[in-house]
Amino acid sequence: MNDEKREDDQKASNDTLTVLLNLAGPSPNIDKDVEDRVYANVRNAWSTSKTRSWSRPLLWALPVTLAASVLVVFGWQGPDAVPRAKPVASIVLVADPSGASGIGDHVYAGDVLDTSNGHGLTLALDDDISLRIDAHTLLKVDAANEFTLLAGQIYIDSGDRIHSDRHVTVMTAIGVVKDIGTQFSVRFDKADLSVAVREGRIDLSDGHQTHSARRGDKVTIRPGQSARFESVPIDGDQWNWAVALAPSFDIENRSLLDFLKWSSRELGMELVIESNSMRIEAMRSRLHGSVDGMSPLEAIDAVMSTTKFDYSIDDGAITIHE
């Protein structure tokens, strides 16, 4: 009976892994032995994740507050289970037009976030780090600031300051990404890992070499092939999904300058203020109200209409003028 149970458990694990890998879509034409190695690496990471946090089998469960918005895989906790540790993140935005929401829910090390229902979401980590999960993505939370991307795409904004103790690490089956104070996206689809950098720098290791990418760079690696570098714009369509998941900026009693810095950063645009006197006045001007539910571009329009200034957007820059 024990052998039969182990076989059943193994089959269930394989079936689950197959479903998870299918989230990544069709795989490119690659050698069969390479594909098998990648599959084995992901399967090993998935199996390890189940034993790292829990000694009991995993159950797929939908917390009531997250129903219809995001699926979280939790470990089964019996009466003798050790209480869960401190949460490592919280959900601050769910792109669900139906109104179902998990906003405010905590995320713990060991949780797996699944947005295969088509609704992306945003996590707030310590140190004001924003992690945005695109639709049709599977992400495992390993620890504070450590994640395993099993399929799909994420975006991380770790701030515009470089701190040696606030790196975010994203692991995949074929490479590991570490940020150096930046905004960047990571996309993984079975055998193709690409990282695009909007600001700052990242280091990408494939186990043999470490590749660095900076603002405007995109680096792609595949098993058995050399890394491919290309240039990408830091604004525009490829970032729209991440901009749509930007957490709201609390403008109450904040300066106009703070708001303009936030909105231009979210849009990947340069902020240009035509004179020093205007910059000083923007720094002294205090805002009131709320821009909750607005995109950064909508928020700029709403806020600027309450000031004496005007603005224009052209050639990747937001220009403030009178």
Asked if 195 and 218 count as a contact pair (C-beta separation under 8 A), the reply is yes
**CA–CA gap between residue 10 and residue 76 (Å, rounded):** 18
pLDDT at 60: 35
Closest CA relative to residue 109, chosen from 136, 75, 158, 132:
75
Match 């929401």 to its residue by tokens: 101
Architecture per CATH, 58-240:
Sandwich (2.60)
Instruction: Read off the tokens for 67.
Output: 């129903």
Residue 151 predicted with pLDDT over 90: yes
For residue range 223-273, list pLDDT tens digits in order: 989 999 999 999 989 999 999 999 999 999 999 999 999 999 999 999 999
**Where do the structural domains in the chain lie, given as residue ranges?**
58-240, 248-321
30-44, 146-160, 240-254: least confidently modelled range: 30-44
Instruction: Please give the Cα distance from 61 to 52 (Å, whole number).
Output: 19
Task: Dump pLDDT digits (tens) for 169-220.
Answer: 999 999 999 998 889 999 998 789 999 999 999 999 998 899 999 999 999 9
Nearest to 42 by CA among 233, 171, 162: 171
Dihedral of the alpha carbons of 18, 81, 143, 24, in degrees to the nearest 10: 10
CB neighbours of 58 closer than 8 A, spacing ≥ 6?
50, 73, 74, 75, 76
CATH of domain 248-321: 3.55.50.30
CB within 8 A of 101, min separation 6: which ones? 65, 69, 94
pLDDT at 265: 94
**Identity of residue 123:** L
Q: Give exposure, 190-206, as e/b (b: 16+ Cβ within 10 Å).
A: bbbbbbbbbbbbbbbeb
